[in-house]
Amino acid sequence: MLDSPEKRAERLLAEMSLDEKIYQVTGEMLFDTENDRRDPLCGSYRNPGHFMHYKREKPASPREVAEKINADVKESIDAQPHHIPPLENGEALHGAQWGMCTNFPQPINLASSFDPEMVEKVADAIGRECNCVGVRQVFSPVVNIARDCRWGRTVETYGEDAKLSGDMGAAMCRGLQRNGVIATPKHFADNYAAGGRDSNYSETSERTMRETILPPFKACFDAGAKSVMAAYNGWEGIPCSANKRLLTGILREEWGFDGFVVSDYGGVEGVHSAHRLASSNARAAADCLKAGLDVILPFRWFDEVKEAVEKGYITEKELDKNVLRILTAKFRLGLFDNPYRDPEEAEKNVRCPGHRRLALESARECIILLKNDNILPLDKNSVKRIGVFGQSADLIPIGSNYSGPYGTPWQGEDAPTPLEALREYLGEETEVIYAGSDEIETIAPQCDVVFYFTSIMEGEGSDRSDLKLPCVSVHSNREEDGGIIVDMARQVITDNQEESILRLCKANSNTVVILQNGAPIDMSAWIDSVKAAVESWYPGEQGARALTEILFGITNPGAKLPITIPGCAGQLPLGYSYKPSGRGYAYCDNDGKPLYPFGYGLSYTSFEIKDASARVTGGAEVSFTITNTGKAEGAEVVQVYIGSYECSVVRPLKLLAGYKRINLEVGESKDAVIHIDSDAFRYYDADMKYGLHDGRHTLMLGTSSDDIIAQFELKAENGKLIKE
């Protein structure tokens, strides 16, 4: 019997030279995988599959990618004195990003499902498509909390709530790691600042960090994640990449994390160049490695680390801790025993029929009906002419962020645009006219219904200061703002979108707006004029079909908002889980309330919830009976919130404590129970000690954060929870 991974790692470490150890803490990424020569001694590599498709007439096949990664791995094993296999890494935000893999809904979509079981299935498929070519570590999921939707990377998150984000992140980690792929939650810890500015210095207090920012990461580690990516920003005076309190104190000593930490790309260099904390790159490398960061990405940093050792900034014994964690991870993965992958299995698994079906099934659960003035669902037999407007109508609705390999747009057989999906479903019996904004007054009056598909530029390197739909503009990511990974995302918007929507409403009262976006939009100028509004986010490669099904009632929308939609940017930051005010919550020019609250979403059917009750268990349980009282099969997401008072510190007025997505046939009733974990009643007291401290708690059962049906009173006293 082989020794444990830990023992094997210890034995190997004792045999390694200093140079071998230094190589293990650094990685390399090459853009030209055919002509550039990489150093085969590094411990980690950005998998070459990410770059293989650039400037090719036809993208590389899964078989070719697996063969290329196998060759990459073999080159390292053959070159290394102890034949240590490299860790091939990549992205997997909403699909394996090494090539033309199954493209699932974006994370903000997945959160809208309120269905962690479905998300775990998606992660399982992504994990299989990574493993089958040899990508064994992915920099996913993003579990940063989206407290200000001006942040361009809101699309990558699971929204504003710590519990929902933790549940979704944990589901992703379970699915990925089940397939022998190391999940790497990011960005540890608080990744943006006031105003939604990406990677800016965090002014977040320790209380807010502990109550809101850190719990989703802890949930991921409890679910088995064995790596984590440090954030670019600084917190409490120290960059996260060199923050010993975060990377060693909280992560390892408090939480018992036994994985390894990687830098964000260029994050270690930033300790010197951006944060101006270290006097040199060598000093920055030492500061980060000693603080608990283990792998410096993305480019080769052997010389800098070697200099750090030679100048005494870090000792070989200190470096051993980092190397041991990396080696242990490789032994746990089985890289030493089975380093290669079968190219034929890759060809068989990637975008297989089952994965494409899952892409459609998940998209169906992720689209939110925001407004419906009795126009949806449409009747296929009575609609004879449809007008379609807006640039996004003729784009596959995947979003530009982390949606394809370097330099090449994502391509997939049988992945339609919304326009194509409409025509596919309606056939020749209904005329679908795709027209520009200059044709609104000519085309729209002749149609039974008109759709407007919105466009917006967002993502990494694309923070916003305004929530309105952009007018005529050209926007592109500079390479230094994230183009390495998201591929110089560029969008030319040729329309004054708000004006076009209002003109459509005037020309045809049956106007439906379909939002394609990754973060809330200011709809105040037009929402009262349209008949219906659908928040589709970016529902993935099969999302256009799912959207068509919802528009025509084949599928009933059941998704809910994982983030508050404000009335305007001036209300930001705006979320549902705020703490009490000593004065009020309104402005002199508006009431401070959102346009649509967290947890909100409409359906084509109706539900009745009755016979609700609560009881104390280890935590609590809320029981109820739910009945579909309408005329269509559908799903309702029933939510339980907790409001706490008379505690030793001020607590939020409302926090999501539990939820359940329930599918019901017409007339069907189900008895259901929502379990509330005991942690929902625990909090940090004035001395920052976490526990079941005294206080009163109200459990609120409802269908959104603003739609509460029943309430129950509980009390914590002397370390026990009792029902009043």
Rounded-to-integer distance, Cα 415 and Cα 95, Å? 14
Q: Are 188 and 228 in contact (CB under 8 A)?
A: yes
Please determine, for residue 1, whether its predicted confidence score (pLDDT) is greater than 90.
no
Phi-psi region of 361 (alpha: psi -120 to 50; beta: other; left: phi over 0): alpha
More confident residue, 489 or 473: 473
Amino acid at position 684, single letter: Y
Count the residues in the chain.
724
Q: Which residues pair with 479 in a beta bridge?
A: none
Q: Give the pLDDT band (50/70/90) at residue 307.
A: very high
Angle at Cα 28 formed by Cα 22 and Cα 33, nearest 5°? Answer: 145
3-state helix, strand, coil in the chain (%, to 5): 35, 20, 45
Rounded-to-integer distance, Cα 304 and Cα 310, Å? 10
Please determine, for residue 485, whether its predicted confidence score (pLDDT) is greater than 70.
no
Non-local CB neighbours of 75 within 8 Å, separated by 6+ positions: 40
Please measure the distance between the N-terminal and C-terminal CA atoms of the chain and give it in whole angstroms: 57
More confident residue, 115 or 583: 115
Q: Which residues of 128-144 are buried (b: 16+ CB within 10 A; e: fewer)?
A: bbbbbbbbbbbbbbbbb
> Helix H segments across 524-666?
543-551
Q: Tokens for 552?
A: 């025509």
Q: Supply the pLDDT for residue 37.
A: 77
Q: Are 213 and 145 in contact (CB under 8 A)?
A: yes
Q: Using DSSP, state whether 212 is helix, strand or coil.
A: helix
In this structure, what are the phi and psi dihedrals at residue 123, rounded to the nearest 5 degrees?
-65, -35
Q: Supply the pLDDT for residue 227.
A: 98
Amino acid at position 390, single letter: G
Amino acid at position 681, single letter: F
Q: Are 187 and 229 in contact (CB under 8 A)?
A: yes
Q: Tokens for 131?
A: 């493993």
In this structure, what are the phi and psi dihedrals at residue 639, rounded to the nearest 5 degrees?
-125, 145
| Mean pLDDT, range 510-528, rounded to an integer | 97
Query: How do residues 206-222 score in pLDDT, each as one tens digit?
Result: 999 999 999 999 999 99
Q: Supply the pLDDT for residue 287.
A: 98
Please determine, for residue 96, whether its predicted confidence score (pLDDT) is greater than 50.
yes
Q: Supply the pLDDT for residue 491.
A: 60
Please determine, for residue 94, whether its predicted confidence score (pLDDT) is greater than 70.
yes
Q: Are 130 and 90 in contact (CB under 8 A)?
A: yes
Cα–Cα distance list, 65 to 133, 359, 627 (Å):
6, 22, 50
Q: Which residues pair with 453 in a beta bridge?
A: 514
Q: Tokens for 648?
A: 């030793």
Q: Tokens for 586?
A: 């309104």
Rounded-to-integer distance, Cα 630 and Cα 634, Å? 9
| Mean pLDDT, range 537-544, rounded to an integer | 98
Q: Using DSSP, state whether 340 is helix, strand or coil.
A: coil
Please determine, for residue 474, whether its predicted confidence score (pLDDT) is greater than 80.
no
In this structure, what are the phi and psi dihedrals at residue 10, rounded to the nearest 5 degrees?
-60, -45
Tokens 């962690």 label which residue? 116
DSSP 241: G
Please report the domains of the chain, with CATH numbers, ordered by start residue: 5-348 (3.20.20.300), 362-571 (3.40.50.1700), 607-723 (2.60.40.10)
Spatial CA neighbour of 266 closest among 231, 303, 235, 290: 231
Q: Tokens for 75?
A: 């080159």
Q: Using DSSP, state whether 404 is helix, strand or coil.
A: coil
Q: Give the pLDDT band (50/70/90) at residue 252.
A: very high
Q: Supply the pLDDT for residue 487.
A: 46
User: How far is Cα of residue 63 from the mean position of the Cα atoms in its chain?
Assistant: 28
Q: Supply the pLDDT for residue 524.
A: 96
Q: What is the pTM of this model?
A: 0.96
Q: Supply the pLDDT for residue 478.
A: 43
| Mean pLDDT, range 590-619, rounded to an integer | 96
| Mean pLDDT, range 138-158, rounded to an integer | 96
Query: How do residues 670-694 score in pLDDT, each as one tens digit?
Result: 999 999 999 999 999 999 999 999 9
Q: Are 324 and 25 in contact (CB under 8 A)?
A: no
Rounded-to-integer distance, Cα 701 and Cα 680, Å? 15
Q: Which residues pair with 296 in a beta bridge?
A: 26
| Mean pLDDT, range 410-418, rounded to an integer | 95
Q: Give the pLDDT band (50/70/90) at residue 318.
A: very high
Q: Are 80 and 93 in contact (CB under 8 A)?
A: no
Q: Supply the pLDDT for residue 194.
A: 86
- What is the DSSP secondary-structure string of 267-308? HHHHHHHTS--SSSHHHHHHHHHHHT--BB-SS--HHHHHHH
More confident residue, 616 or 401: 616
More confident residue, 243 or 3: 243
Rounded-to-integer distance, Cα 612 and Cα 589, Å? 39
Amino acid at position 501, single letter: I
Q: Tokens for 467?
A: 């929530």
Spatial CA neighbour of 124 closest among 337, 333, 335, 362: 362
Rounded-to-integer distance, Cα 125 and Cα 104, Å? 10
How many C-beta atoms lie closer than 10 Å to residue 439's C-beta? 13
Mean pLDDT of all residues in the chain?
95
- What is the DSSP secondary-structure string of 150-191? TSGGGGGS--S-HHHHHHHHHHHHHHHHTTT-EE--BSBS--
DSSP 605: S
Give Rg (Cα) of the chain.
26
Q: Is 663 exposed, middle or buried (CB count within 10 Å of its CB: 0-12, 13-18, 19+)? A: middle
pLDDT above 90 covers a percentage of the chain that reads 91
Query: How do residues 263-289 score in pLDDT, each as one tens digit?
Result: 999 999 999 999 999 999 999 999 999
Rounded-to-integer distance, Cα 672 and Cα 636, Å? 12
Non-local CB neighbours of 455 within 8 Å, separated by 6+ positions: 390, 391, 392, 469, 470, 491, 493, 495, 497, 516
Tokens 């379609």 label which residue? 388
Please determine, for residue 489, whether its predicted confidence score (pLDDT) is greater than 60.
no
In this structure, what are the phi and psi dihedrals at residue 45, rounded to the nearest 5 degrees?
-140, 140
Please determine, for residue 458, whether its predicted confidence score (pLDDT) is greater than 70.
yes
In this structure, what are the phi and psi dihedrals at residue 497, rounded to the nearest 5 degrees?
-70, -45
Please determine, for residue 477, whether its predicted confidence score (pLDDT) is greater than 50.
no
Q: Tokens for 428?
A: 């020749």
Q: Are 106 and 155 in contact (CB under 8 A)?
A: yes
Rounded-to-integer distance, Cα 286 and Cα 273, Å? 15
Tokens 């990754």 label which residue? 518
Q: Considering only the C-alpha atoms of the chain, give the largest distance between any 2 of them, rounded to a whole number of Å.
A: 79
Query: How do residues 370-396 score in pLDDT, each as one tens digit?
Result: 999 999 999 999 999 999 999 999 999
Please determine, for residue 581, whether its predicted confidence score (pLDDT) is greater than 60.
yes
- What is the DSSP secondary-structure string of 668-720? -EEEEEEEE-GGGG-EE-TT--EE--SEEEEEEEEEETTEEEEEEEEEEETTE
